Amino acid sequence: MIKKLLPIALPLIALVGGAMAGDMLRPAPPEGDPPHAEAKPSEDPTAETYFTFPSQFFVPLVRRGTMNDIMVLTLTLRTGAESVEAVEKKEHSLRDALLRQLMIHANTGGFDGNYTVDRNLAQLRDDLLKAARGVTDLPIDAVLIEDIARQQG
């Protein structure tokens, strides 16, 4: 009878032993966090929240009437939690204003040479923030450049 139970009991014992070993080897939770705590969204309306445009910005780089390259950017706006829904409703106006400013930046040589130098990116962020604030009275605190790349056209 034991010979008949052994093929069933052995895998069951191995399963239970493996589960116990895995539980004992699990890293300890960080201090202050209860075990198995889930992240909850902030209920503080003044908390910083971000709105990322759902599609990238494409800026043609035209020199002497010929499009040479394209700048591709992913932009995000930092705002308060209470304003995210309103920012989403103004997405098209904001996108238009930001793209217009990106075109101005491109046409004045802002993407020529080493465009990733900190002072150049700081100036671009500042100009984009002014453009965003110019089309809405919503509290937009910053424009973040998530991605920036130059593609050959």
How is the chain split into domains, by residue range? 48-152
Structural fold of domain 48-152 = Tetrahydropterin Synthase; Chain A (3.30.479)
pTM exceeds 0.85: no
Q: What is the spatial distance between Cα 25 and Cα 22, in angstroms, rounded to a whole number?
A: 5
Asked if residue 77 lies in contact with residue 50, where contact means CB atoms within 8 angstroms, the answer is yes
Asked if residue 116 lies in contact with residue 55, where contact means CB atoms within 8 angstroms, the answer is no
Q: What is the spatial distance between Cα 152 and Cα 124, in angstroms, rounded to a whole number?
A: 21
> Residues, the chain, total?
153
| Digit-coded pLDDT (tens) for 93-133 | 999 999 999 999 999 999 998 999 999 999 999 999 999 99
